[in-house]
Amino acid sequence: MRFWQSLAFTEPEQLVALARIAEEVGFHGVMVSDHLFYPGKLGSRYPYSPDGTPGFTADTPWPEPWSAIAAMAAVTTRLCFTTAVYILPLRHPLEVAKATATAAVLSGNRVALGVGAGWMKEEFDALGVDFHARGQRTDEMIEVLHKLWSGGMVEHHGACFDFERLQLSPAPSAPLPIWIGGASEAALRRAARLDGWIGAGNTRADLQVILERLRVLRRAAGRAEQPFETVCALFEPIAADDVAALEDAGVTSLVSYPLAFAIGPHSSLEQKRGALERYAEQLITRAH
């Protein structure tokens, strides 16, 4: 079992130090999240709360993910990084390919691209991107990213993106995994064709259903024998004795919830160190 620490909602000035601490106490990786801004008038419904209200405000920090990952990678040697999740269809694939490839090169291939289709229409509207075409854009962007990361001259002529022959450099020296976030049928089908799935928080009962559905979809996609990462966050408390059962169920990675949830929205670096050390002692060390 691998263990990840979510650094969503964390004070940006603490990220670099927290990456060092997470590596020191035994985490496999850390994850950052993504929003461009918080709109003055939010009409979109947040999909992960009963009343549709997000668990963050306009003051919640959202540092640019790949800048943050590059900074944290520079002060670590083993720690891995992912986005949970990056709003892929909001961007252009050439820009995403450049940012992710650079992060992969600078980190020694310690990054994965965790993506979602997005839910906040206001972000798409501000950039002039069709919110209702985000699923189509996501699928085509994944195809384009794989081409661009290959390191040679490529071209693409699709419904959403069109460009003549060009080459991205530097390109990753190893495959850059793409993990899909979300529990909709579309998200699970997309994940089954790729390298992994990231949960946004589930009960164990819900997780069992999702993992079984992923197994069915991966078999249908002819990928049942390929490596596949399941990065799972549980709403329920986890003890070291639970880890083996979760592994048997198909979980490959567990996520420690954002420190803002565990010890409050504002805390010192030393308070966060204490929380990471306690998690490591109670779960990571005993599970291994």
Residue type, 60: T
Report pLDDT digits (tens) over 231-278.
Answer: 999 988 889 999 999 999 999 999 999 999 889 889 999 999 999 999
In the chain, the number of structural domains is 1
Q: For residue 177, name the pLDDT band (cuts at 50, 70, 90).
A: very high
Q: Indicate the average pLDDT of the chain.
A: 96
Show the tokens assigned to 221: 């996609």
pLDDT in tens, 80-109: 999 999 999 999 999 999 999 999 999 999
State residue 258's pLDDT score: 95
**31 beta partners:** 6, 82
Instruction: Return the ∠ at Cα 145 (arms to 69 and 142), rounded to 5°.
Output: 100
Above 90 in pLDDT, residue 288?
no
- Distance of alpha carbon 88 from alpha carbon 111, whole angstroms: 16
Closest CA to 105 of 169, 20, 148: 169
DSSP state of 259: H
Task: Evaluate if residue 48 carries a pLDDT over 90.
Answer: no
Q: How far apart are CA 244 and CA 169, in angstroms?
A: 42
User: 179-232: per-residue pLDDT in tens?
Assistant: 999 999 999 999 999 999 999 999 999 999 999 999 999 999 999 999 999 999
CA distance 74 to 97: 20
Tell me which residue range forms the domain holding 88: 2-287
CATH code, domain carrying 135: 3.20.20.30
CB 247 within 8 A of CB 1: yes
pLDDT band for 282, please (50, 70, 90 cuts).
very high
Bridge partners (DSSP) of residue 3 are 254
What pLDDT, on a 0 to 100 scale, did the predictor assign at position 286?
Answer: 82
pTM of this structure: 0.96
> Cβ of 221: how many Cβ atoms within 10 Å?
14
Q: What is the DSSP letter of 236?
A: S
The residue whose two tokens read 């709360």 is 49
- pLDDT greater than 90 at residue 128: yes
| Proportion of the chain above pLDDT 90, given as a percent | 93
